């Protein structure tokens, strides 16, 4: 069974969607630990409510990256809990080479935009300001760039004339909560292969 370590900075709605998929039996995986750089992040409380080991990792003195001692502490926690896959869920720091090397090809992220459009912060606001008519979310493998890794799946949502940042963000989040468990199911079933930057799906094992 695929052992997931979830890392997030916020309320953990994507963590919750993953945990609920596991509990409903639609995702054959287990969350072995939840880590956060924010001591009072709701994601930690939610993890504890689901009897999942939850840890705050102090990431000072860095503000926008996971590096140095904090990075080593995260690697140690991931190893202690025997994590197979690192699942970034609203983690607001850039991941650095040491962690990427230790979990090569085994770190995934979800981004609230149709990458490569609108990387970085507040993507839904970027999309609204630009005036695109379609937004969405992207689940991707993590490389050393910001939101640049190979894409596992994307889901779209329309942008309506009456949308505000709040309504658009909420519509994208609904799709994130479907997309992340779906992507993890593909990984858990060992169905993804990489060709160049393209992430391709092999058939389920019993159909091959």
Choosing from 33, 44, 142, 199, the residue that interacts with its own copies (CB under 8 A) is 199
Quote the CA–CA distance of 148 and 134 in Å, as a whole number: 20
Please choose, out of 8-16, 77-85, 95-103, 128-136, the segment that lies near its own copies by the rule CB under 8 A: 128-136
Cβ nearer to its own copies, comparing 79 with 129: 129
Q: Is 115 in the site for its own copies (CB under 8 A)?
A: yes
Interface map 155-174 toward its own copies (x if CB under 8 A): -x----x-------------
Cβ nearer to its own copies, comparing 98 with 132: 132
Contacts of 67 (CB under 8 A, 6+ apart): 96
Site for its own copies in 31-50 (CB under 8 A): none
Helix (H) or strand (E) holding 12: none
- Tokens standing for residue 181: 């468990």
Nearest to 59 by CA among 75, 68, 70: 70
Which residues make beta-bridge pairs with 136? 156
Cβ nearer to its own copies, comparing 86 with 151: 151
Tell me whether residue 111 is one of the annotated catalytic residues: yes
Q: How far is CA 140 from the centre of its chain?
A: 8
Out of 50, 56, 81, 111, which one is annotated catalytic?
Answer: 111
């Amino acid at each position: 069974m695929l052992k997931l370590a979830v890392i997030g900075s916020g309320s953990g709605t994507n963590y919750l969607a993953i945990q609920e998929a596991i509990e409903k039996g639609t995702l054959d995986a287990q969350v072995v630990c939840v880590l956060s750089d924010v001591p009072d992040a709701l994601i930690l409380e939610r993890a504890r409510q689901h009897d999942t080991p939850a840890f705050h990792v102090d990431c000072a003195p860095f503000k926008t990256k996971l590096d140095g001692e904090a990075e080593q502490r995260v690697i140690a926690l991931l190893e202690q809990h025997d994590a197979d896959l690192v699942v970034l869920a609203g983690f607001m720091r850039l991941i650095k080479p040491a962690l990427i090397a230790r979990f090569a090809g085994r770190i995934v992220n979800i981004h609230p935009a149709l990458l490569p459009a609108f990387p970085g912060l507040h993507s839904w606001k970027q999309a609204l300001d630009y005036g695109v008519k379609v937004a969405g979310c992207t689940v991707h493998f993590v490389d050393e760039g910001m939101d640049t890794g190979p894409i596992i799946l994307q889901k779209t949502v329309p942008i309506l004339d009456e949308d505000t940042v709040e309504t658009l963000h909420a519509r994208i989040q609904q799709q994130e909560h479907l997309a992340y468990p779906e992507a993890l199911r593909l990984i858990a079933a060992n169905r993804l292969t990489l060709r160049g930057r393209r992430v391709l799906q092999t058939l389920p094992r019993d159909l091959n």
